[in-house]
């Protein structure tokens, strides 16, 4: 009875501040135009909880780390994937990314061991070989030719994903699937027009393109599954785990569609987010030569031109500071939407049932209360003298039960890749090429990232270890053919959806 008497009346409920917007569409068009900057401005103008209507949907941008922790961890049972993930099902089906409840728990349990640290560590040499092979190819580029690193990193990420998860190199599909994936990722975002309100089965030109994208991606995964069954490659750990999984109550295996949808989730979510993270890594090195010089000092001293083991990659302090700062400034997953099951109060404001909340690492990572110079790229934000911050002031992989299942392998990929390329290549941005943030599923640069990449020039006397004078590089990522990388002789001198499953 006391709880009923003490419950706040509707008149006592505090409504969060926010923009009024259009009477019919709210702020949907502004969201469509630039969702990331819209969320950033909401926090700057209205504070850490901002009410914002997108068409007929009521949303709240929630930015403060303590409120992010409350939603993702402390009261996570009240927050579901919600309506903004429904469009994801067009491409991903019912998989880890798009489902909740018992279905999600059963599927996550089935594949959890694949992303255990021991499995990740076992694959370090494959990641190293893929990175070294790319270095060898880039060293042969004609002098001065710009490289579109986003496309290159998507292909590398696909190769890494294929060899570690599917046990086959699927990067040969990159050129075919790249444009399809870009269109598909654009399609799952709010369009700010009639397409947002029409069912996907209505054969509009927009919906037809989505269906063509899905069918093309289906063909790629059907080939992977066929190769697995036919023994054309080593058995895929992921596929084997999915096929072996049994329902705890009925003992029934997953259906063919369930296996397919989980493969699609790992395929799209796994390589898209890692690829964008790797691309932003190269951009950060090109933009900050002093950071690159200091990173090289550590790498040259500890690795001498070679690739790190998993243990070495984890124990190189400045490398890890650089990786964390890349994830702070350029979080591959810029936003996480959630649906609200029951009325709640967040940051002192009423959050009604049936509405949605948006959490944004991109915005929280720039919160002035926790970052003294939030827009500057500074790895010392994660140095030994950095101030102690709230644990959710930095959450590039989400948090709580739905924290990205692949975060350990994503971190290892970034660490190994940066350690390899920083030792052997110089980077500079192509003058005049614009960098435009894109709020698709990941933080994509809409016009790509074009860099000039050259073999590293070493100053006289700045050498590497004798063992590093020749590095064997695998061209096929499995060590069957090796080519020498000769070190040069003169040093001059990244709103949701990480994908959390």
Residue 459 confidence (pLDDT): 64
6 is a domain residue: no
> Average pLDDT in the 377-381 region?
97
Task: Return the percentage of the chain with pLDDT > 90, whole number.
Answer: 51
pTM of the model: 0.86
The reply to whether 22 falls in a domain is no
Q: Which of 200-204, 222-226, 353-357 has the highest mean predicted lDDT (pLDDT)?
A: 353-357
Q: In this predicted structure, which of 100-109, 315-324, 347-356, 472-481 has the lowest mean pLDDT?
A: 472-481
- 40 vs 461, residue with greater confidence: 40
Q: Is 12 within a domain? A: no
* pLDDT (mean) for 111-129: 83
Dihedral Cα 315, 317, 322, 325, nearest 10 deg: 100
- Assigned domain for 3 exists: no
Q: How many residues are there in the chain?
A: 501
Return phi, psi of residue 80, to 5°: -105, 180
Query: Tens of pLDDT along 299-348?
Result: 999 999 999 999 999 999 999 999 999 999 999 999 999 999 999 999 99
Residue 423 inside a domain? The answer is yes
- CB-based burial, 350-387: b 16+ in 10 Å, e otherwise: bbeeebbbbbbbbbbbbbeebbeebeebbbebbeeeee
Q: What is the mean pLDDT of residues 122-129?
A: 88
State the pLDDT at residue 295. 98
Sign of CA dihedral 75, 78, 79, 80: positive
CA distances for 448 relative to 149, 179, 327, 433, angstroms: 7, 13, 18, 9
Number of domains the chain contains:
1
Looking at the predicted structure, is the pLDDT value of residue 197 above 80? no
Element (H, E) at 474: strand 470-474
Helix, coil or strand: residue 1: coil
Helix, strand or coil, per DSSP, at residue 419: helix
Q: What is the DSSP letter of 24?
A: T
Residue 194 has pLDDT above 80, yes or no: no
Q: Cβ atoms within 10 A of the Cβ of 68, count?
A: 27
CATH code (residue 394):
1.10.630.10
In a domain, 496, yes or no: no
Of 392, 478, 110, 95, nearest in space to 270 by CA? 95
CB 303 within 8 A of CB 416: no
Q: Which domain range does residue 120 map to?
A: 34-486
The arithmetic mean of pLDDT across residues 13-35, rounded, is 87
* Residue 310 included in any domain: yes
Q: Is residue 9 part of a domain?
A: no
pLDDT at 9: 55
């Amino acid at each position: 009875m006391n709880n009923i008497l003490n419950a706040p009346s509707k008149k006592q409920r505090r409504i969060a501040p926010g923009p009024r917007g259009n009477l019919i569409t709210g702020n949907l068009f502004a969201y469509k135009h630039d969702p990331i900057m819209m969320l950033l401005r909401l926090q700057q103008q209205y504070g850490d909880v901002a009410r914002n209507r997108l068409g007929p949907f009521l949303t709240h941008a929630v930015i403060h780390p303590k409120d992010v922790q409350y939603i993702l961890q402390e009261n996570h049972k009240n927050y579901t994937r919600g309506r903004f993930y429904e469009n994801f099902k067009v491409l991903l089906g019912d998989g880890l990314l798009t489902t909740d409840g018992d279905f999600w728990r059963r599927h996550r349990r089935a594949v959890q061991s694949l992303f255990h640290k021991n499995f990740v560590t076992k694959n370090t040499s494959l990641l190293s070989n893929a990175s070294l092979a790319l270095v060898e190819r880039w060293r042969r580029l004609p002098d001065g030719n710009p490289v579109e690193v986003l496309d290159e990193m998507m292909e590398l990420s696909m190769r890494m994903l294929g060899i570690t998860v599917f046990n086959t190199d699927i990067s040969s599909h990159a050129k075919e699937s790249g444009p399809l994936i870009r269109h598909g990722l654009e399609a799952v975002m709010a369009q700010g027009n009639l397409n947002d309100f029409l069912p996907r089965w209505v054969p509009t030109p927009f919906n037809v393109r989505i269906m063509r994208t899905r069918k093309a991606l289906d063909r790629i995964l059907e080939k992977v599954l066929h190769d697995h069954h036919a023994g054309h490659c080593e058995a895929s750990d992921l596929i084997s785990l999915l096929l072996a999984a049994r329902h705890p109550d009925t003992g029934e295996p997953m259906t063919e569609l369930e296996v397919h949808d989980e493969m699609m989730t790992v395929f799209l979510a796994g390589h898209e987010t890692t690829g964008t993270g790797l691309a932003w890594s190269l951009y950060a090195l090109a933009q900050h030569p002093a950071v690159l010089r200091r990173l090289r000092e550590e790498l040259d001293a500890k690795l001498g031109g070679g690739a790190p083991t998993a243990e070495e990659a984890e124990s190189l302090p400045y490398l890890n500071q650089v990786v964390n700062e890349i994830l702070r400034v350029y979080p591959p997953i810029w936003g996480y939407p959630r649906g609200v099951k029951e009325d709640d109060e967040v940051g002192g404001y009423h959050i009604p049932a049936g509405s949605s909340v948006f959490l944004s690492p991109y915005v929280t990572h720039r919160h002035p209360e926790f970052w003294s110079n939030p827009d500057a790229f500074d790895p010392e934000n994660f140095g030994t003298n950095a101030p102690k911050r709230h644990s959710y002031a930095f959450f590039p992989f989400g948090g709580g039960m739905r924290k990205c299942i692949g975060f350990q392998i994503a971190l290892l990929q970034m660490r190994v890749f940066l350690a390899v390329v920083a030792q052997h290549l110089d980077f500079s941005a192509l003058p005049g090429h614009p960098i435009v943030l894109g709020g698709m599923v990941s933080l994509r640069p809409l016009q790509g990232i074009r860099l000039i990449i050259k073999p590293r020039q070493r100053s006289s006397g700045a050498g590497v270890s004798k063992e590093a004078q020749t590095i064997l590089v695998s061209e096929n990522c499995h060590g069957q053919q090796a080519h020498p990388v000769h070190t040069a002789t003169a040093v001059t001198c990244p709103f949701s959806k990480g994908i959390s499953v």
